[in-house]
Structure 1
Amino acid sequence: MSQEPSLFQKVSAEVFDFHRFFEGWYNAATADSIDFGRCERAFGRAFHMIPPTGRVFDRAETIELIRANRATFQGNFTIEISDIRAGYETADTIVLTYIEAQSRAGKYSRRQASALFTASSSAPNGVEWQHLHETWLQMPET
């Protein structure tokens, strides 16, 4: 009998998997093979995001932003996730922090992210993103 993954294991898998989605969606060579519905299923109905710029995006604005950036790179966009840590946690809610390092056409940046997830059987990896807040650790090189 296999044991159900912990909430931390589910959200950790989701963070890695969702960022692999971004790499595929943003790459012109692979974008056609990526299921955009995966993105829409990942966000809770009240989701909002605060990127390092400080602007607040609601769920619809976030989805449109991601959709609009489809195939904008030529295989030169990568994301590395590290230092995943759990914060506050209940049976179905968890706050997670992690570091996201991006390479966009040779320009590097790093950001600290804090995300709130809730359990959802219909979402990828069994968890929905409810809130995401990012801040620069290293701004993109110019």
Structure 2
Amino acid sequence: MNEKPSLLSRASAEIVDLHRFFVDWFDRASADRVDFSRFERVMGDGFCMVAPSGQVLDRKAVLDHIKASRATCDGDFAISIEDIRAGWQAGDTIVISYVEAQQRAGKHSRRRSSAVFTTSSSAPNGVEWRHLHETWLQMPEG
């Protein structure tokens, strides 16, 4: 009998996969081959994000921002995900923290994020994003 992957492993895979989506979506060379609906499917109803600046964005604002940012990089953007850690978990909800390191046009930044996921049978990794809070560890170099 095949055992279903744990909620932690599904959420961890989602974090890594979504950031791969961002790299491909933002890169001019690959953006035409990326399906935006992948992003829409994993942003749960009522999703909200606290950006590193402290600005609170609802689901629509996040979707609109990402959609408008398509193909804005020219092979000069990379993201790595580090230090994924499980936080609180109950039933089909989990809180995960991780560090996102970005390199864009030679500038580096790092942010620590906490995300809330719930299970979703229609999402690629079986989880959807419900809340995201990002805090600067290293702001983009000037």
TM normalised by structure 2 equals 0.99
Match of 1:43 in 2: 43
Distance 2:5 2:98 in 1: 19
Q: Which runs of 5+ in 2 are unaligned?
A: none
Secondary structure (helix, strand or coil) at the match of 2:13 reads: helix
Percent identity of paired positions between Structure 1 and Structure 2: 58
1:41-78, CA deviations, whole angstroms, 9 ceiling, x for partnerless residues? Answer: 01111000011011110000000000010000011100
After TM superposition, the structure 1 = structure 2 runs for residues 100-119 of structure 1, keeping only pairs within 5 Å, are 100-119=100-119
Distance 2:93 2:45 in 1: 15
Match of 1:90 in 2: 90
What one-letter code is carried by the residue in structure 2 that aligns with 1:124?
A: P
CA positional deviation for 1:91? 2.1
What one-letter code is carried by the residue in structure 2 that aligns with 1:97?
A: S
What one-letter code is carried by the residue in structure 2 that aligns with 1:140?
A: P
What one-letter code is carried by the residue in structure 2 that aligns with 1:59?
A: R
What one-letter code is carried by the residue in structure 1 that aligns with 2:22?
A: F
After TM superposition, the structure 1 = structure 2 runs for residues 8-87 of structure 1, keeping only pairs within 5 Å, are 8-87=8-87
Aligned pair count reads: 142
2:122 matches 1:122:
yes
Distance 1:81 1:96 in 2: 12
1:53-111, CA deviations, whole angstroms, 9 ceiling, x for partnerless residues? Answer: 11110000000000010000011100000000000001200000000000011110000
Match of 2:133 in 1: 133
TM normalised by structure 1 equals 0.99
CA positional deviation for 1:22? 0.1
Moved over 6 A (4+): none
CA positional deviation for 1:123? 1.2
Q: Which runs of 5+ in 1 are unaligned?
A: none
Distance 2:76 2:90 in 1: 39
CA positional deviation for 1:3? 1.2
2:2 matches 1:2:
yes
Distance 1:23 1:115 in 2: 19
Distance 1:104 1:69 in 2: 13
1:118-140, CA deviations, whole angstroms, 9 ceiling, x for partnerless residues? Answer: 00101120001000000000000
